[in-house]
Chain A
Amino acid sequence: MSTEPGRKAAGNGFLTDTWVNLKRWMLKTVRNPFVMTFSLINPVMFLVLFTQVFGGVAGGAISDSVGGSASYVTYLVPAIAIQVALIGATSSGVGLVNDIESGMFEKALVSPMHRGAIFLGKSLSEVLRIVLQVCIILVVGFPMFYLDAGGSLGDYVATGVLGAIGIVCVGVLFAIWFTALSNIVALVTRDQESTMIGVNIVQFPLLFLSSAFLPLDSLPGWVQVVAAFNPVTYGVDAARALMFGRDVMTLIDVTAFGGMWNTLVPAVAVLGALDIALGALAVYFIARSTSAEAR
């Protein structure tokens, strides 16, 4: 060693600490292309099977809901985008438990890195992954739409490129509350399998008891009640509004903003509030687990 001993580490600013952690988690994502691929298999399978099997039957219900000659593909793509975000968020807690089990969590805590940056860096890598995966779903959806309805790109996403970007943003906005939830479960259980099972078990009820696969008014009354309290409904409605460029929300009858904004504004408000609430709860749990209290 060439340098003098007994000096202190320089430490970094908050942004550098965030970047250091973001880099580590991106590297881990790249190292595991399987995780990236396998977490897309389920959603793509849903997209293909649902459109092929239910496309014909669903047609009537969805044209009542979104009007005209809507293809079930365009109806379903926003839902699948939300599903991808949901699955992506699930893996966040699993990653945290892995870090706790491997000792990397403690290693980060005993370093001079800012506590918040450790989590922010990790979360940003998950956001990037979700962005990429939602983009993949949007791209995969188009040839299916083309084969089904034969329309152009403009018929596929009515609001164009900006709308597509909007759908990605909705996916991220939706992912935050579930990311927070999966991290809370991780910190409480501190066990990989429990976290995985815990978050996976709610995935299907969340998807099916919502407006994801069929318009709400074609579903039984109790499902409609549950769906009203299900964040997936708001995520899917927001993404779907961008897909069709029109108001698709049936839960809350807003007319103040005009067109698709009547869906977007309330849905984004609901998701935003949920993100803040669960985010705050996650911060509380993280602070508790990193504050060096005797556990």
Chain B
Amino acid sequence: MCTVSAIDADHLELTYADGTRAVTDVSLSIDEGEFFGFLGSNGAGKTTTIKMLVTLLRPTSGSVRVNGHDVADEPRAVRKSIGYMAQETSIDEELTARENIRYACEAYGVPRDERADRIDQLLDLVDLAGVADKRAKGFSGGMQKRLDVATALVHEPPVVFLDEPTTGLDPKARNRLWDYFERINERGTTVFLTTQYLEEADHLCERISVITDGEIEVSGSPAELKSLVGGDVLEVEFDEPSDDDLERAREVAIDSALVDDPDAVERTEAGLFVTSTEARRHGTDLLVALREAGLTIVGFNVRSPTLDDVFLTVTGEEYEGGDDRADEADVAAATGEAR
């Protein structure tokens, strides 16, 4: 385990000129080589935090060191040592894919004799080799996003900040990027990733912090966070239940031997989520009890907790990203790859 800090943030606070307190208290210590995930719903302060870390916003109070350089005192040294991909796709639509990457290479001072190879490798990585000399204006949203990823990686920086890098990408492209993020991480690059896909954080990150209302709520490995949920989750679905049916089912579940804490039982649209360490062993008892109470069960499932469950447990709110994801997928399906 490496103990050198790649990113050290100490009690960061940021209040915008209009008085909005976007970040109230964020402290982070991210080791060199770590794959770190920053989770939170929209407006929680993820992007504001990342902008302070990459020198784009000056903290109202608190300090940040990245790769040993203070962002306030040595911003240029910090900028040289990081790659940053903003949440909004940032490319020049008037230039071709190749020209966009070349501009980034030049901006970061990638040696002239390495440029051509680097550009080709990156184009290949993000599957844009076939349209390398086409103007980015004609690219679909997903293609533009992929191009943006490539431009953030030109100088192979020791620390990469990725603000929702795979939003709007199709699963194939997303998997390719995941592979690449893992590969650069395996070779020692520290990755700071914000994402709205909880499964993405689960899949990639060694450590995760959940931010709500500008403060870090909880941190830990995905497994540690999942253990916070308090067991496995039994999902039960009823046949078109009325409000009364659901309330009755909830009471049955709370009275069952499965749970001690009434909070472990959540009503969903058409059923229940019951969280219990005994969910696998004694889940069937509850199903029988529910049937005896006159409820028609049309589906059930016992599963390990996901980060969605963690989010629900920690913040007491449904994870907002879930809806966005459905929308994004629909949009992607409707628009197709080539616009």
- Give me the interface of A with B, judged by CB distance under 8 Å: 1-12, 16-17, 20, 23-24, 27-28, 31-32, 102-104, 106-113, 291-295
Q: Are A5 and B184 in contact (CB under 8 A)?
A: yes
Chain A, Cβ-Cβ closest to B88: A103
Q: Are B90 and A107 in contact (CB under 8 A)?
A: yes
17 contacts between A and B (CB under 8 A): A2-B117, A6-B158, A7-B158, A8-B80, A11-B80, A16-B106, A20-B106, A31-B94, A32-B94, A102-B90, A107-B90, A107-B104, A110-B79, A112-B109, A292-B55, A294-B14, A295-B16
Q: Are B56 and A292 in contact (CB under 8 A)?
A: yes
Q: Does B291 contact A (CB under 8 A)?
A: no
Q: CA A23 – CA B104 in complex, angstroms? A: 12
Q: Does B107 contact A (CB under 8 A)?
A: yes
B108: chain A residues at CB < 8 Å are 9-11, 111-112
> In whole Å, how far is B213's beta carbon from the nearest beta carbon of chain A?
18
Task: Using A10-B111, A102-B92, A102-B93 as known contacts, say yes or no to A5 and B156 having CB atoms under 8 A apart.
Answer: yes
Choice from A104, A109, A292 contacting B91 with Cβ under 8 Å: A104
Find the residue from A106, A110, A112 having the highest chain B CB count within 10 A.
Answer: A110
A112: chain B residues at CB < 8 Å are 76, 79-80, 107-109
Chain A, Cβ-Cβ closest to B184: A5
> In whole Å, how far is A10's beta carbon from the nearest beta carbon of chain B?
4
- Interface residues of B, dominant DSSP: loop
Task: Using A102-B91, A110-B79 as known contacts, say yes or no to A10 and B156 having CB atoms under 8 A apart.
Answer: no
Sample of 6 more A-B contacts, CB < 8 Å, known A3-B114, A294-B60? A8-B67, A24-B103, A27-B99, A102-B92, A103-B90, A292-B58
Residues 75-117 of chain B: 1 if any A CB is under 8 Å from the residue's CB, otherwise 0?
A: 1110111101010111111110001000110111111001001
Q: Are B81 and A106 in contact (CB under 8 A)?
A: no
Q: CA A109 – CA B79 in complex, angstroms? A: 9
- Give me the interface of B with A, judged by CB distance under 8 Å: 14-17, 54-58, 60, 67, 75-77, 79-82, 84, 86, 88-95, 99, 103-104, 106-111, 114, 117-118, 121, 135, 151, 155-158, 184, 187-189
> In whole Å, how far is B301's beta carbon from the nearest beta carbon of chain A?
42
Q: Are B95 and A28 in contact (CB under 8 A)?
A: yes
Q: CA A207 – CA B157 in complex, angstroms? A: 51
Q: CA A106 – CA B118 in complex, angstroms? A: 23
> In whole Å, how far is B55's beta carbon from the nearest beta carbon of chain A?
6
Chain B, Cβ-Cβ closest to A32: B94
Q: CA A8 – CA B84 in complex, angstroms? A: 14
> In whole Å, how far is B242's beta carbon from the nearest beta carbon of chain A?
50
Chain B, Cβ-Cβ closest to A107: B90
Q: CA A4 – CA B189 in complex, angstroms? A: 10
B99: chain A residues at CB < 8 Å are 27
> In whole Å, how far is A197's beta carbon from the nearest beta carbon of chain B?
22
> In whole Å, how far is B113's beta carbon from the nearest beta carbon of chain A?
12
Find the residue from B56, B94, B118 having the highest chain A CB count within 10 A.
Answer: B94
Q: Are A1 and B156 in contact (CB under 8 A)?
A: yes
Q: CA A104 – CA B80 in complex, angstroms? A: 17
Q: CA A292 – CA B52 in complex, angstroms? A: 8
Choice from A6, A11, A102 contacting B109 with Cβ under 8 Å: A11
Q: Are A3 and B156 in contact (CB under 8 A)?
A: yes
B57: chain A residues at CB < 8 Å are 292-294
Q: Are A1 and B121 in contact (CB under 8 A)?
A: yes
The 9 closest A-B pairs by CB, nearest first: A103-B90, A10-B109, A9-B108, A9-B155, A6-B158, A20-B106, A111-B107, A292-B58, A112-B80
Q: CA A39 – CA B90 in complex, angstroms? A: 27
Q: CA A7 – CA B155 in complex, angstroms? A: 8
Chain A, Cβ-Cβ closest to B22: A294
Q: Are B58 and A294 in contact (CB under 8 A)?
A: yes
Task: Using A20-B107, A112-B109 as known contacts, say yes or no to A8 and B157 having CB atoms under 8 A apart.
Answer: yes
A111: chain B residues at CB < 8 Å are 79, 104, 107-108
Q: CA A295 – CA B18 in complex, angstroms? A: 8
Q: Are A109 and B151 in contact (CB under 8 A)?
A: no
Q: CA A108 – CA B17 in complex, angstroms? A: 23
Task: Using A9-B108, A113-B107 as known contacts, say yes or no to A107 and B56 having CB atoms under 8 A apart.
Answer: no
Q: Are B16 and A294 in contact (CB under 8 A)?
A: yes
Q: Are B103 and A6 in contact (CB under 8 A)?
A: no
Chain A, Cβ-Cβ closest to B157: A9
Q: Are B158 and A8 in contact (CB under 8 A)?
A: yes
A291: chain B residues at CB < 8 Å are 58
Q: Are B189 and A6 in contact (CB under 8 A)?
A: yes
B82: chain A residues at CB < 8 Å are 110
> In whole Å, how far is B93's beta carbon from the nearest beta carbon of chain A?
7
B91: chain A residues at CB < 8 Å are 102-104
> In whole Å, how far is A266's beta carbon from the nearest beta carbon of chain B?
41
Q: Are B106 and A110 in contact (CB under 8 A)?
A: no
A103: chain B residues at CB < 8 Å are 86, 88-91
B155: chain A residues at CB < 8 Å are 8-9
Q: CA A109 – CA B51 in complex, angstroms? A: 11
> In whole Å, how far is B87's beta carbon from the nearest beta carbon of chain A?
9
Q: CA A241 – CA B99 in complex, angstroms? A: 44
B75: chain A residues at CB < 8 Å are 292
A32: chain B residues at CB < 8 Å are 94
Q: Are A8 and B93 in contact (CB under 8 A)?
A: no
Q: Are A8 and B81 in contact (CB under 8 A)?
A: yes
Q: CA A295 – CA B56 in complex, angstroms? A: 11
Chain A, Cβ-Cβ closest to B82: A110
Chain A, Cβ-Cβ closest to B58: A292
> In whole Å, how far is B137's beta carbon from the nearest beta carbon of chain A?
10
Q: CA A16 – CA B106 in complex, angstroms? A: 9
Chain A, Cβ-Cβ closest to B92: A104
Q: CA A292 – CA B135 in complex, angstroms? A: 31
